[in-house]
Structure 1
Amino acid sequence: MQKDNWMCRAFIFVLTFLLYASFHLSRKPISIVKGELHKHCAPPNEVELSSYKEYAIQIQPVKKLSNESQCGWEPFDKNNYKQLLGALDYSFLCAYAVGMYLSGIIGERLPIRYYLTVGMLASGLFTAMFGLGYFYNIHNLWFYMIAQVTNGLVQTTGWPSVVTCIGNWFGKGRRGLIMGIWNSHTSVGNILGSLIAGYWVSTCWGLSFVVPGVIIACLGIVCFLFLIERNSKSYMNGTNKFGVHKPTLNLKETDKLQDPAMQCLLPDRENCMVLLNHNMAVNGEGGTRMSAISFIGALRIPGVIEFSLCLLFAKLVSYTFLFWLPLYITNVEHLDAKRAGDLSTLFDVGGIFGGILAGMISDRLEKRASTCGMMLLLAAPALYMFSAISKMGLEATVVMLLISGALVNGPYALITTAVSADLGTHKSLKGNARALSTVTAIIDGTGSVGAALGPLLAGLISPSGWNNVFYMLMMADACALLVSLNKTFSLFPI
């Protein structure tokens, strides 16, 4: 039985890994296609001398587009293309941030398998919708904006669902390491999305969206067929609609139960059944399941506000790289859209190692916040070095992409996984694991506000010079460190 249980855990680990990797796979194409939507092919004598570097690269001629523009895809072929592309990012991420707050609350009250399946099918539809603009010769900005907004809303179904599912199957013992490895799905999805989108970007950029859309939709069907929402021995998943019959309780036995924050993540059926019913009795609930936590109640959990604000600034930095790094590499390294997209994947490779390293260190120190603070402290100077060294050649850029990716994505990965799961099963909840989805959504939703601001600010600031974008990112890292100082030097594990 124990062997079967571990096989089930391994299966859920791999399945949820693939499911959420597909979400990031479908988000990445827009950053790869930006270099194709607006090409720097204007003759140097038509631009100011100060802007010569930006237009110095002469991209090889490609087949003339149906809008008869040789410099991109209307309406992104104008001089204000950076603002327009930034607006696309902003519309997606604003919708994602708003939807995330609602998603966790809704997700607690619906079966995870159904909720996640519908979200993945809808994500596939709206991701492909953006690419259909190429095939149907659509040049209306609002079409692409609507595709981004709707996609941002439906993609919020993913994160609270997979974190709740993985939290139901794995306890706190090595949560940092396990979730650090598991959270590499973010970087793996970004890498695959870059490679898939880059394959078609110069020939038929519409397929750069349609193919990822088909992939996430197909995995949505896999989710419906195979996802197991919870360990069948725990009975603690928030979507459980069935009654649990109360066994005869001995008060002395009840007093000997382990810490509720840990107990109900363990695969022990009897203890979890006893603890569940014990907490119902304490809370005066005569029903057969625990009530979902309120939004305000989740905010009162110690650490939720601090880590939400910390993630806001950390995600601002991470998503600015996610959406703007290929275009930055195109400008600085003088590469075409495909090669820039391929090179940008090294940032995510560094992020994989950063997430795993953060999990290992936090498990060893038993201090999640101190680990985040240490990596944030190193991230700001690393970003400064990246902005300076990346102009010295391709080799230096490769090294700094790996280092920056590890330091930027390490804290981000730790907060969105192990920290969220720890807070969602905090002692103050008295074993109510139904808070996990709401807590995860609050933390990631607040982080998504920063994710929306970062690419927008990058689009507004970049015309004045890429150095100013990096200064903005360094300030954001410093703010993330400041808001987490209270928890960084706390005596408590979190």
Structure 2
Amino acid sequence: MSSFGDNIPIGVKLLQKLTDSCPRLHFNREWYYRSSVLVLTYFAYMSYHLSRKPLSVVKAVLYQNCSQLTPSTDVPPSEINTWCDWAPFDDSDADALLGTLDSAFLFAYAIAMFASGFIAERINLRYFLSIGMLLSGIFCYLFGIAKTYNIHNFGYLLFMQAMAGIAQTTGWPGVVTVVGNWFGKSKRGLIFGIWNSHTSIGNILGSIIAGKYVETDWSLSFIIPGFIIGAVGFIIFLFLVVRPTDVGCIPPDRGNKRYNNPYRVLENRAANIEPPSGESSETDDTEVLIGEQDHLKYYATTQDFEIQRRLTERSYLLSKQQQEDSEQAIGFIGACRIPGVIEFSSCLFFSKLVSYTFLYWLPLYVKSSTEMGAALSADFSTLFDVGGIVGAILAGVVSDYSGMSATTCVVMLWGAAPMMFVYLHFGSVSITVNILLLIIVGILVNGPYALITTAVSAELGTHSSLEGNSKALATVTAIIDGTGSIGAAVGPLLAGCLKKYGWQSVFYMLMAADALALLFLIRLVKQELKQWKHRRQIRRD
């Protein structure tokens, strides 16, 4: 059995020694651990998305209509139509090649995600995240130096994108599992909704950074995000505490019957200790056996209760940690049998298809449908992610209040398709209208996607059918997000193929996908409505 301290990060150990040596620096350590988990995982996944965004911005300069631009005087007449492009994206098949790069990343991500969840349940998640972030930074950097060293080989670019996709699968199962370890079900939707803004913030920062260099030296659009994710990964290695029991804190599942917290029983009973008959209340050696479980015996004395309480709490935490270490990680089939996993995974397939098509193609659509340049188009496209932040929080709050996650998703999906139609046909009326519609579309498209990948995944990963097994969260999360990621890979690829028929074809494809996402949740919505009616009937009675 592992003991406290074995899994404590180096940075946390140093902070503990510092506070122990200086009483003035003492603070509520459990509050610090919980806060640091939220902050560190937030910045970790923000940097993951920050390093994914550059390609969608750089597309605008990899392939341009050179004949409409003014070439420099040293451009040969034979290259007048291709002088401003970056080979191999200087031909009529450029859109298909760019779509293939997107799909290389996303298909590799989707396929590797299932294996990633399997691995994440079996190793220390701090190492898992740190190594994954370092590798993500390296492959992002290697893609960028294609500009520096004039590497025009499409196979090289394709390989870097695929490897980056595999490395990035470490992110989502890792961060969701760590947050799920530290936070219980109370207001989970709100917490995850606010926390999930890291996706949109990462996209926004990635667009801004890439946009700053896209028209001058697009290699820096990749190199700088690669450095950022690598640096954040090192911070994760130094300070991330994976589980409460690693640092002697009570897990959020303490109310679970299987993990009944015996030292709470000790506290409650100690307040009612009566001295033995015939003895006064000043008796110093009075001991009362108050054990609740066969394998532990707890004693409280009238003078040494606090010492006994601490020993009991430590015994509980060690026992809890031993249970966690001995639990068997759930398999793929077992995870798929959890009620709701198949439905939400299928819904996320189409929901994420829509979201990622916007992620990878929106800057180019804005550039082609307006008079904005590549840099300004990248900045403007971030409004979709601003809407995504609002949508994630709104979906989380509504889900917490109603207890109806599937219904919340369906309502937002129902409104998303009409708004995409409105944005397609009326977004060009004025800049103000474009901004408003883009934010609304971001709210409706990203709300269900965010809710399913966070609060719903955490809920299903701790489902009552698992009987308290804590080693299912990463697997369930990986199955749901992996299925969604297949859709995310298909979407940009379809967009690249349909774009030659006009942007209308791309938007109609997205509307159809949105409708299919809605249909997969109908059965769960019916169940939730029945439960809601049943609860109302009980209240009336």
TM-score between both structures, scaled by the size of structure 2:
0.79
Contact 2:182 2:251 in 1 (8 A): no
Report what 2:18 is aligned to: none
Q: 1:408 aligns with which of 435, 441, 445?
A: 445
Q: Give the RMSD, CA atoms, in angstroms.
A: 2.6
Q: 1:424 aligns with which of 455, 461, 465?
A: 461
Cα 1:305–1:328 change in 2 (3 A) is same
Q: 1:445 aligns with which of 482, 491, 494?
A: 482
Report what 1:292 is aligned to: 329
Once residues 414 and 446 of structure 2 are traced to their aligned partners in structure 1, the CA distance between those partners, rounded to angstroms, is: 13
Report what 2:46 is aligned to: 21
Q: Which amino acid aligns with 2:59?
A: K
1:82-121 residue pairs with structure 2 within 5 A?
A: 82-121=95-134
Q: Which amino acid aligns with 2:62?
A: L
Measure how far apart 1:366 and its partner are: 0.9
Report what 2:227 is aligned to: 214
Report what 1:310 is aligned to: 347
Measure how far apart 1:275 and its partner are: 7.2
Once residues 62 and 17 of structure 1 are traced to their aligned partners in structure 2, the CA distance between those partners, rounded to angstroms, is: 45
Measure how far apart 1:327 and its partner are: 0.4
Would you say 1:390 and 2:414 are equivalent positions? no
Contact 2:413 2:448 in 1 (8 A): yes
Once residues 65 and 269 of structure 1 are traced to their aligned partners in structure 2, the CA distance between those partners, rounded to angstroms, is: 75
SS of equivalent to 2:470 = coil
Q: Which amino acid aligns with 2:51?
A: S
SS of equivalent to 1:335 = coil
Contact 1:376 1:478 in 2 (8 A): yes
Q: 1:190 aligns with which of 177, 200, 203?
A: 203
Cα 1:205–1:60 change in 2 (3 A) is farther
Would you say 1:181 and 2:199 are equivalent positions? no
Q: Which amino acid aligns with 2:196?
A: N
Once residues 34 and 340 of structure 2 are traced to their aligned partners in structure 1, the CA distance between those partners, rounded to angstroms, is: 28
Contact 2:355 2:488 in 1 (8 A): yes
Would you say 1:133 and 2:146 are equivalent positions? yes
**Could you tell me the percent identity over the aligned residues?**
52
Deviations 1:197-225 (Å, cap 9, x if unpaired)? 00000000011001100000011111111
Once residues 168 and 72 of structure 2 are traced to their aligned partners in structure 1, the CA distance between those partners, rounded to angstroms, is: 34
Would you say 1:488 and 2:504 are equivalent positions? no
Q: 2:241 aligns with which of 225, 228, 248?
A: 228
Contact 2:419 2:441 in 1 (8 A): yes
Report what 1:70 is aligned to: 83
Report what 1:4 is aligned to: 29
Contact 1:235 1:273 in 2 (8 A): no
Cα 1:226–1:404 change in 2 (3 A) is same
Cα 1:370–1:249 change in 2 (3 A) is same
Once residues 204 and 65 of structure 1 are traced to their aligned partners in structure 2, the CA distance between those partners, rounded to angstroms, is: 19
Contact 1:348 1:405 in 2 (8 A): yes
Measure how far apart 1:482 and its partner are: 0.1
Measure how far apart 1:250 and its partner are: 2.8
Cα 1:63–1:172 change in 2 (3 A) is farther
Deviations 1:423-472 (Å, cap 9, x if unpaired)? 00000001111100000000000000000000000000011010111110
Largest Rg, 1 or 2:
2
Once residues 269 and 396 of structure 1 are traced to their aligned partners in structure 2, the CA distance between those partners, rounded to angstroms, is: 60
Cα 1:60–1:202 change in 2 (3 A) is farther
Measure how far apart 1:234 and its partner are: 4.3
Report what 2:402 is aligned to: 365
Report what 2:293 is aligned to: 250
Cα 1:166–1:59 change in 2 (3 A) is farther
Cα 1:479–1:195 change in 2 (3 A) is same
Once residues 35 and 401 of structure 2 are traced to their aligned partners in structure 1, the CA distance between those partners, rounded to angstroms, is: 23
Once residues 361 and 296 of structure 1 are traced to their aligned partners in structure 2, the CA distance between those partners, rounded to angstroms, is: 31
Q: Which amino acid aligns with 2:481?
A: D
Contact 1:275 1:431 in 2 (8 A): no
SS of equivalent to 2:66 = coil
Residue range with higher mean Cα deviation, 143-152 or 59-68: 59-68
Report what 2:94 is aligned to: 81
Q: 2:362 aligns with which of 304, 322, 325?
A: 325
Deviations 1:355-382 (Å, cap 9, x if unpaired)? 0000000000011111111100111101
Contact 1:315 1:451 in 2 (8 A): yes
Cα 1:457–1:64 change in 2 (3 A) is farther
Cα 1:380–1:62 change in 2 (3 A) is farther
Report what 2:385 is aligned to: 348
SS of equivalent to 2:184 = coil
Measure how far apart 1:396 and its partner are: 1.6
Once residues 72 and 145 of structure 2 are traced to their aligned partners in structure 1, the CA distance between those partners, rounded to angstroms, is: 20
SS of equivalent to 1:490 = helix
Q: Which amino acid aligns with 2:330?
A: I
Q: Which amino acid aligns with 1:299?
A: C
Once residues 57 and 215 of structure 2 are traced to their aligned partners in structure 1, the CA distance between those partners, rounded to angstroms, is: 10
Contact 1:276 1:431 in 2 (8 A): no
Q: Which amino acid aligns with 2:376?
A: R
SS of equivalent to 1:39 = coil
SS of equivalent to 2:427 = helix
Report what 1:467 is aligned to: 504
Residue range with higher mean Cα deviation, 311-320 or 393-402: 393-402
Contact 1:235 1:269 in 2 (8 A): no
Deviations 1:305-325 (Å, cap 9, x if unpaired)? 000000000000000000000
TM-score between both structures, scaled by the size of structure 1:
0.86
Contact 2:457 2:477 in 1 (8 A): yes
SS of equivalent to 2:527 = coil
Q: Which amino acid aligns with 2:385?
A: D
Cα 1:35–1:425 change in 2 (3 A) is same
Measure how far apart 1:8 and its partner are: 1.9
Q: Which amino acid aligns with 1:400?
A: L
